[in-house]
């Protein structure tokens, strides 16, 4: 029987933000099932026309968060997603991280971040 996975999402801000830029998770925690997919969402606000949205995974206090992906939003369609189990969808106000084929190794703290320069 597949096990349950617990995911936490926290917000983060990168350099280059202006006073009106914000990003925050839609939920503080999320449970997924091994072998299935899960979607995490963060909502953001910026006046910048081409923000970059990032996702990081932090599964150990002994190491820094690991880069998962970045994706442009609004007018920017560029992206860098090295692991094809991950996917991201963005709108003018939100970013989603989709993880397919969950494993217990996906249990971690996830960060969403925004960069506006």
CATH number, domain containing residue 56? 2.60.40.10
pLDDT of residue 15: 47
Q: What is the pTM of this model?
A: 0.84
Please report the pLDDT score of residue 75 as a whole number.
80
| Cα dihedral 47, 29, 62, 65 sign | negative
Say what the pLDDT of residue 27 is. 87
CA angle (13 as vertex; 11, 18 as ends), nearest 5: 130
Domain of 17 in residue numbering reads as 4-115
Residue 97 to residue 4: CA distance in whole angstroms: 18
Tokens of 46: 């910026």
Q: How many domains does the chain have?
A: 1
Residue 10 pLDDT:
60
Bridge partner list, 75: none
Q: For residue 25, give every residue at least 6 positions away whose Cβ sits within 8 Å of its Cβ, in sequence order, or none.
A: 9, 10, 11, 40, 41, 42, 112
The pLDDT value given to residue 30 = 87
Mean pLDDT in runs of 10 for the chain (117 residues)? 52 57 87 93 91 92 92 92 96 96 92 86
């Amino acid at each position: 029987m597949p096990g349950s996975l617990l995911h936490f999402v926290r917000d983060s801000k990168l350099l280059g933000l202006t006073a009106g830029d914000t990003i925050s998770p839609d939920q503080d925690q999320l449970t997924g099932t091994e072998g299935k997919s899960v979607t995490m969402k963060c909502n953001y606000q910026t006046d910048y026309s081409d923000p970059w949205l990032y996702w990081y995974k932090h599964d150990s206090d002994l190491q820094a968060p690991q880069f998962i992906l970045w994706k442009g939003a609004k007018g920017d369609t560029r992206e860098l997603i090295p692991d094809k189990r991950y996917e991201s969808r963005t709108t003018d106000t939100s970013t989603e991280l989709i993880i397919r084929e969950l494993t217990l190794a996906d249990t971690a703290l996830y960060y969403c971040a925004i960069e506006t320069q």
